[in-house]
Amino acid sequence: MKTWWFGNLKTRKLENNKIIKLEKLTNINMCNSKN
C-alpha cells in the first residue's frame, strides 16, 4: 500500500509538471500573439 501511494505521488507530480509546462507555453504564445 505504501509503495503504491509513493508511486501515485510520483506520477501525480509528473502530471502536474506537464500541466504547468503546458500552461507556461500557452501563456508565452498568448503574450507573443498580443504583441
Q: Would you write out the chain's pLDDT as a tens digit for each of its 35 residues?
A: 567 777 888 889 999 999 999 999 998 888 887 75
Q: Which three cell numbers stand for residue 25?
A: 507555453
Q: What is the pLDDT of residue 1?
A: 56
Q: How far, in Å, CA of 11 to CA of 1, rounded?
A: 15
pTM equals 0.57
Q: What is the pLDDT of residue 35?
A: 59
Q: What is the pLDDT of residue 17?
A: 94
Q: How far, in Å, CA of 34 to CA of 20, rounded?
A: 21
Alpha-carbon radius of gyration of the chain: 15
Q: Which three cell numbers stand for residue 34?
A: 498580443
| Phi, psi for 9 (deg, rounded to 5) | -60, -40
CA-closest candidate to residue 31, choices 16, 19, 23: 23
Q: What is the pLDDT of residue 31?
A: 81
